[in-house]
Amino acid sequence: ENRPIPEPGPNEVLLRMHSVGICGSDVHYWQHGRIGDFVVKDPMVLGHEASGTIVKAGSGVTHLKPGDRVAIEPGVPREMDEFCKSGRYNLSPTIFFCATPPDDGNLCRYYKHSASYCYKLPDNVTFEEGALIEPLSVGIHACKRAGVTLGSKVFVSGSGPIGLVNVLVAKMMGAAAVVITDLSASRLQKAKEVGADFTIQVKNETPQEVASKVESLLGCMPDITVECTGVQACIQAGIYATRSGGTLVLVGLGPEMVTVPIVNAAVREVDIRGIFRYCNTWPVAIALLASKRINVKPLVTHRFPLEKALEAFETTKRGEGVKVMLKCDPTDHNP
């Protein structure tokens, strides 16, 4: 609250923040102080799913002006390295990323960011939708890496926000059938709402039993599995479920070491792919939202003003609803 308002550099913009979604990673840093090798050593501002209004543009910024409503891509490369040159800037080892130690996020009233990674929102796309482009981007990147296409049969493991955006994107990209699993009946109901064809509420089944349920519902083994939990048993189920010659994409992050039936995958030529965040997805997502081809609005189940951020984080930690959204600007009544 008492932080000074930052001054944007020549290629930066200063934003008055509007909507910021809470991500599982934000909660994890808050509770555990680290995710893998990323350790919180000093106080850090959270938040990386965000939109706002430009209040000041640096002298070198030509494509944006004060008053523009924008969505913020939180990952900004610091140098033009080999990964940036090849269009895979998300893999750049020196990338700045909001709310990944030691980089501050944007859950605040005013925030400055690289202008090249702020994207103007069309009038028919709300601030809230703009903030949801970040999780939506994970789905776009994962489904692209998976090769989802016309007629694909897809198995999505985990029905949290990231599982749900993968359902949305897979259907958009032409998947003929999507089956999704979760422990929670309410989350599976939400998955049905956003377009899942089949749901499986997992109780005590073995990974092989889950795989066989997936196959029986789809009428065949899926070409593609998108694993969004990071849980060992779910990764195992993903390998068993995926058809020979198919692709398993690992989106969820769990323990560093997991035991998986790797020989089963190897001898059936199941390709296992990782994803790290996303790249080149904001223009795609904005086009999908503006054309109303994708509807992310049902994902937001809770809204809190910035003053009640702690309550919002507690709500997310308890796993209530799907996406919790914080409103940073109490005076702004824009969409």
Q: What are the structural domain ranges in the chain?
A: 12-120+296-327, 139-274
Q: 74 pLDDT exceeds 80?
A: yes
Q: What is the pLDDT of residue 217?
A: 98
pLDDT tier at 252, thresholds 50, 70, 90: very high
Give the residue-averaged pLDDT of 136-158: 98
pLDDT tier at 24, thresholds 50, 70, 90: very high
If residue 180 lies in a helix (H) or strand (E), which one and from where to where?
strand 177-182
Contact 303, 325 (CB under 8 A): yes
Task: Encode pLDDT of 267-278 as tens digits.
Answer: 999 999 999 999
Q: 123 pLDDT exceeds 50?
A: yes
Q: What is the pLDDT of residue 330?
A: 65
pLDDT tier at 36, thresholds 50, 70, 90: confident
Nearest alpha-carbon partner for 230 in 214, 246, 248, 250: 250
Q: What is the pLDDT of residue 329?
A: 79
Token pair of 50 as six digits: 């965000």
* Relative orientation angle of helices 309-317 and 24-32, to the nearest 10 degrees: 100
- CATH number given to 12-120+296-327: 3.90.180.10
Q: What is the pLDDT of residue 2?
A: 65
Q: 156 pLDDT exceeds 90?
A: yes
Query: Distances from the Cα of 144 to the Cαs of 75, 135, 232, 242, 280, in angstroms?
Result: 19, 15, 24, 17, 11
Q: What is the pLDDT of residue 335?
A: 42
Q: What is the pLDDT of residue 4?
A: 86
Q: What is the pLDDT of residue 57?
A: 98
* Cα 263 to Cα 334: distance, rounded to the nearest angstrom: 54
Contact 218, 179 (CB under 8 A): yes
Q: What is the pLDDT of residue 321?
A: 87
Q: What is the pLDDT of residue 333?
A: 52
Top CATH class of 139-274 equals: alpha beta
pTM for the complete prediction? 0.96
With pLDDT > 90 as the criterion, what percentage of the chain qualifies?
95
Q: 210 pLDDT exceeds 50?
A: yes
Give the residue-averaged pLDDT of 12-30: 97
Q: Please provide the distance, in angstroms rounded to a whole number, between the alpha carbons at the two ends of the chain.
A: 24
Q: 69 pLDDT exceeds 50?
A: yes
Task: Encode pLDDT of 47-58 as tens digits.
Answer: 999 999 999 999
